[in-house]
Each structure stands twice: as structure tokens, then as C-alpha cells.
Homo-oligomer: A and B are copies of this chain.
């Protein structure tokens, strides 16, 4: 019999994946069943109901895409953005640049409103711009994983036209800060499993409003994407007769089921408070060490803490020591922040006091 794969436990405090809870590991390795097994259909239904609670929505269209967060992201754009659609992207980090990339592949007519990386989206600029311009789609990132900035989805949502589809990236926000799909009138939102939901990557929640579903149903062209065509996938996830589209990642769905169940049992608001509390501890500890946050206090995410790498300190040396000597992963900078910042994630099962203490102790010894 061949050797069984093993890997040492690491505290995942990077930009994701975050640490997986013991419960989720157990669920993940439960016996695989068929994708049309009535027991699995029941799990799918429960996942949908739990997602509605976590997204704070009455939208019935809530389901996990069979891929990682970027597949969920693409499923929103490819189903919502048609060729020549006028799309406004509010851009202040790596992931809103990815929005531009995806929309460009779809032949959209793109307008960018940029704010500096590390700052929040300038709401007044957006309000002013939307007074004079209309769009088919407006897209923004709620919690920018590359910079640790919280963008004000709530305020911006108030100036989105009734005829405009509002797409929001909640990859790093779902389960870590307040996300309110119905209050904020979000039409298409996507997240992932490996951050606030304490699961491994591989099954990624999306939620569409009725307006989004209408746009999808009225589509008169073939989507250039088969795997993420939600007009087809809905026939598997909804209704009495479940029509096979593709084989779902069964065990990843078990994991997601457990992650959602645990989150709701702890209580969504309590989970968000926990993130805020451990973030405070981290802020105090890092500031004691002289590390500087790149984001203004009022726009900092609890879930993603970006600090400037001090002068004379080598990025990779520190991160390798953390990983090899302390079994802790933190993230480096992405895009234009590469080599300049560290990104410390506090998400889901990683967002616990004991992890903050371990990281601060390690930092003290290394720096």
C-alpha cells in the first residue's frame, strides 16, 4: 500500500486560504455519494438556505459555483455582462483590475473610476459621475484583498440606477464583515469558501437578484462559457426535476455545508464581532512592534491587514522564517504592492486570539 499523503499543520494568516476548522475537515472526508443522490440534493437545498442567511437576502438564487473564488467571480461577469454593455468599474486594487480583465474579454464598453491603491473608493466622485452617466453594469470590490481596504458598498449602492446591474466582490468580506445583499440592492455577488467560511478552496458562493435573473433569461445569444452558464446550472440546483449539468464537487459541498452550519450556529453577528475583536488585538500588537498599516483606520478590514515592510527588512526572509520555524503563513504584496507590504489575514477559523499571540511572538523574535 502506498504511503498516505501528510502535511504539517500551518496557521494560515495570509490572504487566503485561511485555516480550516476540524469540523470541516471531518465533513470534507465523509463518504462521497452521487451528484443526483436524494441525500445530496437535500444537502444542496440546505446550503442554499444557509447561503441566504449569510448573504442576508431573500433571493432564491444562492448557490456555490464548482470552482474557486475566481470561478464565482467569472460566473457573475459572464452571466451579467454582454458584448458592448456599458460597464463602470470602481478600481482601487488588484481584484478590480481583474474585473477589467474579465469584462474586456467579454467585449464590454468599460469605464474606470480609479482611486489610489490603499485608499477607499471615493464615494463622492462616484455619486457625481453617476449623476451624469448611466451604465448597464456597475462593479466594485467590497473588501479589497490586495490592500486591506473596505469600500463603502452601502453608500455607493444608493446611487445605482434601477436599470443597472450592481456586481459586488465579497470574497474577503463574506463572514468577516457585514454583507447585506438585500439592503444594498446587490444584483450579483460572489465569494469563496476558503476565507470567512473556514473551508478549503473549491466551492464558491454566488447570489443573483431577480433583476439579474431577468437579464439572464432575456439573453438572446449563447454564452461563450459552458461551465458557468447559470441558465443551465439553475436546472440542477433548483426545482423538482434536477437536471444533470456537470458533476458537482461533492466533498467540497460537504465542507461548505459544515462551514456554513458552524458559522450560523456561532451566530453571524457574533462571528463578525470576533473578527473585529481579534483585529483590534492584532493592530495593537503590530503597532507596538512599530509596524505601520497602509490603510486609514476607518477603512481598514479586520480580515486583511496590510502593513508596510520596514526599511532594511527582506520580505521573503521573514515570511520563510515564519513558515519554516513557526508554521505560520502570512502573505506578501500583490501587483504594485509586491515586496512592499505584508498581508495578514484574520478570517474564519484563523481569526482567533491564540493565532494573534503566536504571530506577534514570532514577529518579535524575527524582527
Contact = CB atoms under 8 A, between A and B. Distances in A.
| Number of chain copies forming the complex | 2
Contacts of A3: 261
Interface stretch (A64-72, A133-141, A177-185, A293-301): A64-72
B257 A5 contact: yes
Interface stretch (A211-219, A222-230, A358-366): A222-230
Contact of A5 (B30, B102, B226): B30
A193 to B, nearest CB: 9
Contact of A250 (B27, B34, B201): B201
A25 to B, nearest CB: 4
A120 interface: no
A105 B225 contact: yes
B30 A10 contact: no
A67 B247 contact: no
A262 interface: yes
A211 B7 CA distance: 37
B74 A227 contact: yes
A17 interface: yes
A31 B19 CA distance: 8
Nearest to A35: B17
B250 A252 contact: no
Given A31-B10, A33-B12, A252 B254 contact: no
Given A5-B258, A30-B6, A251 B67 contact: no
User: Which of A32, A70, A223 neighbours the largest number of chain B CB atoms within 10 Å of its CB?
Assistant: A32
A234 interface: no
Contact of A14 (B1, B34, B201, B257): B34
Interface in A1-50: 1-10, 12, 14, 16-17, 19-20, 23, 25-35, 37, 39
Interface in A92-137: 98, 101-102, 104-106
Contacts of A258: 2, 4-5
Contacts of A265: 1-2
B35 A224 contact: no
Nearest to A22: B4
Contacts of A228: 227
11 contacts: A1-B265, A2-B258, A4-B26, A5-B30, A6-B30, A10-B33, A10-B34, A32-B194, A71-B71, A102-B226, A249-B249
Given A20-B31, A68-B248, 15 more contacts: A3-B261, A7-B31, A10-B33, A12-B32, A20-B251, A28-B28, A66-B71, A67-B67, A67-B71, A70-B246, A105-B226, A194-B250, A200-B252, A202-B249, A225-B225
Q: Shortest 8 CB-CB distances between A and B: which pairs?
A: A202-B249, A224-B224, A70-B246, A29-B29, A5-B27, A2-B265, A200-B251, A9-B31
